[in-house]
Amino acid sequence: MQLAPRPKTFASGAGLVWRWQRILWWIFIVNLVLALFATKGMAERADWALSHSVASGPLVNGFDLFSLAELAAQPDTPLEQPGPAVLHYSVVFAIFMLFAAGGILATYVFDAKPTTTAFFEACGHHFWRFFRLVIYLLLAFIPMGILAAICGSIYNRINAVSNSPYSADFFFIAISLIILLLTMVLRLWFDMAQVIAVAEDETRMHRALRRAASLLAHNFGSLLWLYLRISLLAWIVFGLGLYLWMYRLSPLSNTAAFLLTQLMLVFWIAARLWQRACEALWFRQYQAASVTEPAYTPTPSPEPAPIPYSTAIN
C-alpha cells in the first residue's frame, strides 16, 4: 500500500520531539559526560603544560597550529593519542543509543508519557532485537563497501587517464554523495524496521526488515524526502554553527564557543530524534490508513457445513 505524503508529519515529528524533550536532554547529557571522560586525559596533560606558561598565548589569542603541534610533541607530557579513548567512549555511547532506541521509539510510537520503569522496560525489551538489526546492517554495508572499492578503482583509473583534474575529483564528489545517499536509504530502511518492531512488537527482525523494505519500496519518495530534509536542515545548521565558530566568534570567547558547539550538538541530536519521531508518526498514520482502507477485501469464509441432521438428533 502506498501512503500519500502527509505534510503534517514533518511538523508533527518536531512536535513529538519537543513534547518528549526530556529524551533529547538525557541523550545530550550522556553524550557530553562520555566526551568529558574521553578527553579528560588529554586535557589534564595539556593543562599541565599550558596553564602556567606564557607559551599558551598564541592558543588563547588565536589558534596557532604550531603551538598545538608543539604541545602534542611535548617531550615530558606528550598528549596521549586521542583515538583510543574517544573511540572507546563513542562505542559506549553507540551501545547506549542502541539500548535507548526501544524506549525512544515506544514513546514516539505510542505518544504517551512513559514511566521511567516503562521506558527502560521498552529499552530492554527491544535491545537484543535491535542488536540483531545492527548485525544485519553491518551485513548490508558489505555491498556498500564493495561499491566504494569499485568506485575507488574507477576514480584511480579516471585520475590516471584524464588530463583534467576535475573529471576524477568531480567523480569522487558525485560518488561520495551517492554512497552517502545510499547509506541514508539503508539507515531509513533499518529505522523503519525498528519502528515496526516496536509498534507491532515484532520479534523476528528479518520479517521486520522485509516489511520495512516493502514499505520503503512503496513509499520511497515520501519517506526519503521526510528523512532527507531533516538531514539537510541538520547539516545546514551544523555548517552555520561551524562558520560562526570559526569566522565570527572572537578567539577569546571560550564560553560562547562552548555554548555554540553544544547548541550545535543539541540540534544535531534533535534532528536525529526528529527523524525517528517522523518515522514513528508516519508508521502510525500508515497503520491507521491500513485499518480504514484495507489493502484487500477478505474473501468471505464459506458457510459452515450443516451438521448432519441425523447426528444432531442423535
Partner 1 sequence: MRARASWLIVYSNSSSDLSDCFRFYGGRTLRNWLTILLAGALLLSARGTVSAPQLQVVNGQAISASSEPNGALSTRIVAYRIDAKLNTTNHSIDANETLVYRNVTGQPQQTFPFHLYLNAFQPQSTLMTEVRLNGARGIGADSGWNDKHRASITINKLEVEGVDLAGKMQFIQPDDHNTNDHTVFQVTLPQPVAPGASVEFHLTFHDELPEVLYRTGYKRDFYMVGQWFPKVGVWWKNAWNCHQFHADSEFFADFGTFDVSLTLPQNEIVGAAGDLVSTVNHPDGTKSMKFHSEDVHDFSWTASPDFTIVEDSWTGSAGPVKIHVLMSPGHMASASRYIQAQEGTLAWYDKWIGPYPYGRITIVDPPHGAGNAGGMEYPTLFTAGTAWFMPKGVRAPEDVVNHEFGHQYWYGMVATNEFEDAWLDEGINSYVEAKSMDALYGPKTSMVNFPFATIGSSDLMRLEYISLPDTDPLTRFSWKYISDNAYGGVTYGKTATVLLTLEKIIGEDTMLAAMHEYFLRYRFKHPTAEDFLKTIEEVSHQDLKGYFDQAVYGTNVLDYDIWDAHSDRLHWWEKEIRGKNPSEEMRRTYVTVHRKGDFIFPVDVVVKFEDGSSATEHWDGRDRWIRYIYDRKAKLASAEIDPLNQVRLDRTSFNNSFVVREDKRAIHKLHNIWIFGSEWFSQLLAWLS
Smallest distance from partner 1 to CB 246, Å = 4
- Cβ distance 267 to 17 under 8 Å? no
Pick one of 55, 149, 240, 288: the residue that binds partner 1 (CB under 8 A): 55
Q: Which is nearer to partner 1, 176 or 254 (CB)?
A: 254
Contact pattern for partner 1 over residues 223 through 262, marking x by CB under 8 A: ----------------------xxx---xx-x--xx--xx
**Residue 89 CB, nearest distance to partner 1 (Å)?**
7
Q: Which of 2, 56, 222, 285 binds partner 1 (CB under 8 A)?
A: 56
Decide whether 99 or 110 has the Cβ nearer to partner 1.
Answer: 99
Q: How far is the CB of 288 from partner 1 (least distance, A)?
A: 29
Q: Residue 314, SS3? A: coil
Nearest Cα residue to 278 out of 192, 202, 212: 192
Cell of 42: 588529554
Considering the complex, state which of residue 115 and residue 153 has its C-beta at the smaller distance from partner 1: 153
Write down the least CB distance from residue 140 to partner 1, Å. Answer: 11
Residue (163 or 311) nearer to partner 1, CB: 163
5: CB partners within 8 A, 6+ apart: 221, 222, 225, 226
Cα 58 to Cα 67: distance, rounded to the nearest angstrom: 7
Contact 263, 179 (CB under 8 A): no
* Choices 7-15, 29-37, 104-112, 286-294 (CB under 8 A): range interacting with partner 1: 29-37
Three-state DSSP at 26 gives helix
Pick from 10, 20, 89, 227 the residue near partner 1 by CB under 8 A: 89
Q: Among 5, 64, 80, 151, which residue sits at the site for partner 1 (rule: CB under 8 A)?
A: 64
Give min distance, CB of 196 to partner 1, in A: 18
Site for partner 1 in 144-203 (CB under 8 A): 159-161, 163-166, 168-169, 187
34 or 196: whose CB is closer to partner 1? Answer: 34
**Integer Cα distance of 84 and 88 in angstroms:** 6
> Which listed residue (4, 54, 112, 291) binds partner 1 by CB under 8 A?
54
CA–CA gap between residue 32 and residue 89 (Å, rounded): 11
Give the residue with the Cβ less far from partner 1, 96 or 110.
96
State the burial class of residue 190 (Cβ atoms within 10 Å of its Cβ: 0-12, 13-18, 19+).
buried
Nearest distance, CB of residue 46 and partner 1, angstroms: 6
Q: What is the DSSP letter of 110?
A: H
Q: How far is the CB of 148 from partner 1 (least distance, A)?
A: 15
Q: Which residues of 271-305 are buried (b: 16+ CB within 10 A; e: fewer)?
A: bbbbbbbbbbbbbbbbeebeeeeeeeeeeeeeeee
Computed from CA positions of residues 82, 87, 93, 96, in that sequence, does the dihedral angle turn out positive or negative?
Answer: negative
Binding mask of the shown chain, residues 261 to 290, with x at each position contacting partner 1 by CB under 8 A: xx-xx--xx--x------------------
| Cα–Cα dist 141/183, whole Å | 8
**What single-letter amino acid sits at 21?**
Q
Site residues for partner 1, 66-85, by CB under 8 A, read 66, 68-71, 73-76, 82
Binder among 9, 12, 31, 107 for partner 1 (CB under 8 A): 31
Give the other-Cβ count within 10 Å of 205's Cβ: 23
